[in-house]
Amino acid sequence: MNPALIKLAAALFLWGLGEGTFFFFQPLYLAELGADPIKIGQILGGVGIAMTLVHIPAGYLADKIGRRPLLRASWTIGWLAALAMAGAEKLPLFTTALIAYSLTVFVISPMNSYVTAARGKWTVERALTLISAVFSAGMVSGPLIGGWLGENYGLRSLYIFASISFTISVSIIYTLPSQKLHHSAKEFSPKVLLQNTRYLSFLVLIFFVIFTLYLPQPLAQNFLQDERGLSLSQIGLLGSLGGIGNVSFNLILGQLGARTGFLLAQLATAFFALLLWRGSGMGFYSLAYFLLGGYRASRSLAAAHVNSLIDDAQMGLAYGLTETASAFPLILAPPLAGYLYSANPASPLYFGLVLIFVSILLTMRFFPRINQRRQM
């Protein structure tokens, strides 16, 4: 394994540990700061807007100036935003810091490009899902730590712990070696990528699939606390099981073809919604959050399949467009989930379940087959 990937994996593990500590409890902390379900949905939708805007510029810059500068910038901004969230005591200030933190998602496109270029003899699916699994492995312990900290020291302490973990992660990311630009990257025109109809059609499919998979998730923790009476420690345990599911599904589905893995990932997420809706007790909820690992694996597999549809000189921009298609549903799904939740707390689950089965049918029909990659 490339030493650069080992360093990147270590930094991602520590970042996952820190983010896992607070991410799972974020809707609960927003409620603690005074946000109702509709407001929570609006805030998370705003986060989705911020996340959507940054991918394309980041991917373009990764092709033009290199990947390492963008990795360093993302890690640094995320660390500073976490410090700001830890220090914020009012909802407006916390929301501002949260949106700033969400902007760092621009790292995904340059990071996917960095991993793809450094993968050696590995397949793109294996390399990207492994890196995603390492991040998820860090998130396994995070919710357990967060649940314990939240019950003993309050939810604000989660962000303090995360800031400490992020500090170590940032120090590692600054040791990554740089990579050479693709020989034709400086001459590459974005118009060529925008004329690739197979790739653009795939983006439409990704958008719909990710929307359906995310809809049951934004207020799932609130549902378990408000409607099922779970404690913070129990919710934290479910978050850790979700992290184990992320690791497992990335490692397993990464060994399969992208199309097969993409379908299985959707099926697993459908069972997540079904088990939360109709299940009763920690056994059902534990299985549900383990199966939710299919959601993160679906995004890694979608990104990996893109590499078979484009040229290496287009890699950063193509990953940026792909992540935009994946992030745009994060704008639309949370407000819809908040509206549905206000009418009936279970409705985001069963409404999402129906849409997931539609997305499975569309995937079976429209997922692009792999052709020999073009050489330019």
* Helices within the chain (DSSP H only): 3-23, 26-32, 37-65, 68-87, 91-102, 108-118, 124-153, 156-173, 190-194, 197-214, 220-226, 232-253, 258-278, 282-291, 293-306, 315-327, 329-343, 347-366
Q: Specify the CATH number for the domain of residue 320.
A: 1.20.1250.20
Averaged pLDDT score across all residues of the chain: 84
| 186: nearest Cα among 338, 369, 60, 32 | 60
10 is a domain residue: yes
> For residue 281, what are its two tokens?
């007790």
Cα separation, 330 vs 99, whole angstroms = 13
With respect to residue 375, please indicate whether it lies within any of the assigned structural domains: no
Residue 373 above 50 pLDDT? no
pTM check: above 0.85: no
Statement: residue 129 has pLDDT above 50: yes
Distance between CA atoms of residues 89 and 154, nearest Å: 12
**Predicted confidence band of residue 180 (pLDDT cuts 50, 70, 90):** confident
Query: Which DSSP letter does residue 369 get?
Result: P
Q: Around Cβ 273, how many Cβ atoms within 10 Å?
A: 28
What pLDDT was estimated at residue 182? 61
The yes-or-no verdict on residue 191 having pLDDT over 80 is no
356, part of any domain: yes
Instruction: Please report the pLDDT score of residue 80 as a whole number.
Output: 95
Q: What is the predicted pLDDT for the residue at 1? A: 64
Residue 184, in any domain of the structure: no
Say which amino acid occupies 241. Answer: L
Tally of domains within the chain: 1
Q: Distances in Å between the alpha carbon of 246 and those of 50, 117, 289, 291?
A: 24, 24, 9, 8
Q: pLDDT tens for residues 299-354?
A: 878 877 887 777 766 777 787 888 888 878 877 888 899 889 999 999 999 999 99
Domain range for 196 is 3-175+189-366
| Out of 96-110, 224-238, 296-310, 334-348, least confident range | 296-310
Measure the N-to-C terminal CA separation of the chain; round to a whole number of Å: 28
Residue-wise pLDDT tens digits, 248-305: 888 888 777 778 888 999 999 999 999 999 988 999 999 999 999 888 888 878 877 8
Tokens of 90: 């009012």
Does residue 374 belong to any structural domain of this protein? Answer: no
